[in-house]
Amino acid sequence: MTPDQSAPEPEASLADEPEVRQAIADGDRASVAAVVTGHPSSPLAWTELADLADSEGRTIESFAFASVAADLAREQLTAGGWQSGDPVSWSDEPNRAYLRALDTQRRAAEGLGLAERAGRLADELAAADPEAPARIASEFTPTQLITIVSAHDLAVDAATDHATSVATQAGDSVAEPAAPDAAGED
């Protein structure tokens, strides 16, 4: 290395949060807020809460939670030497909390009619990692969330289906429509 060359600076990275990932994996949708309470400075926990609110159509809450997640992530990245506009790689898994928070905040801003803010967030996301929007769309969109159905809901649905079936069988029989004969006449 010559005196004019400097070592490449490492890309910015959020701290890994294995305890937060584990708490989220071990919990259910109702326990995400408790994960945030237990880890209030975690961008990942706030991002999960924002995504949950987004998936439930709670746009205002989604925007607020994603804003907190993105701000916490920016603070953490800045403490590591990152500056706004520097890359934040999707391939480094902890960084996904920041990138997902930006996208969730962008979607919520659009839903709230904040087009300029949504545009700035889209630009920030693209500057951080140009591949991130496509990865988020394919891996973390609310439409990909599986609706969790309780045993009670299944029992109610089964009882309703059975009652409908019994009512249909108990009703008057319906005559079969007459088939036309070979000449096309009734």
Q: What is the mean pLDDT of the chain?
A: 82
Cα–Cα distance measured from residue 78 to residue 7, given in angstroms and rounded to the nearest whole number: 20
Residue 160 in this model has a pLDDT that exceeds 60: no
The pLDDT of residue 101:
98
Tell me which of 183 and 11 has the higher pLDDT: 11
In this structure, is residue 95 part of a structural domain?
yes
Domain that holds residue 133: 18-140
Residue 134 in this model has a pLDDT that exceeds 70: yes
Residue 179 in this model has a pLDDT that exceeds 70: no
Cα–Cα distance measured from residue 37 to residue 71, given in angstroms and rounded to the nearest whole number: 17
Residues 98, 14: contact at Cβ < 8 Å?
Answer: yes
Residue range 150-168: mean pLDDT, rounded = 51
Residues 30, 49: contact at Cβ < 8 Å?
Answer: no
The pLDDT of residue 121:
97
Residue range 29-44: mean pLDDT, rounded = 96
In this structure, is residue 60 part of a structural domain?
yes
The pLDDT of residue 142:
55
In this structure, is residue 26 part of a structural domain?
yes
In this structure, is residue 166 part of a structural domain?
no
In this structure, is residue 99 part of a structural domain?
yes
In this structure, is residue 183 part of a structural domain?
no
Of 3-7, 16-20, 65-69, where does mean pLDDT reach its minimum? Answer: 3-7
Residue range 72-88: mean pLDDT, rounded = 95
CATH code for the domain in which residue 83 is found: 1.25.40
Q: Is the pTM of this model over 0.85?
A: no
In this structure, is residue 39 part of a structural domain?
yes
Residue range 44-73: mean pLDDT, rounded = 97
Residue 159 in this model has a pLDDT that exceeds 90: no
User: What percent of the chain is modeled with pLDDT above 70?
Assistant: 70
Question: 100, 84, 11, 3: which is closest to 48 by C-alpha?
Answer: 100
In this structure, is residue 36 part of a structural domain?
yes
Total domains in the chain come to 1
Tell me which of 73 and 4 has the higher pLDDT: 73
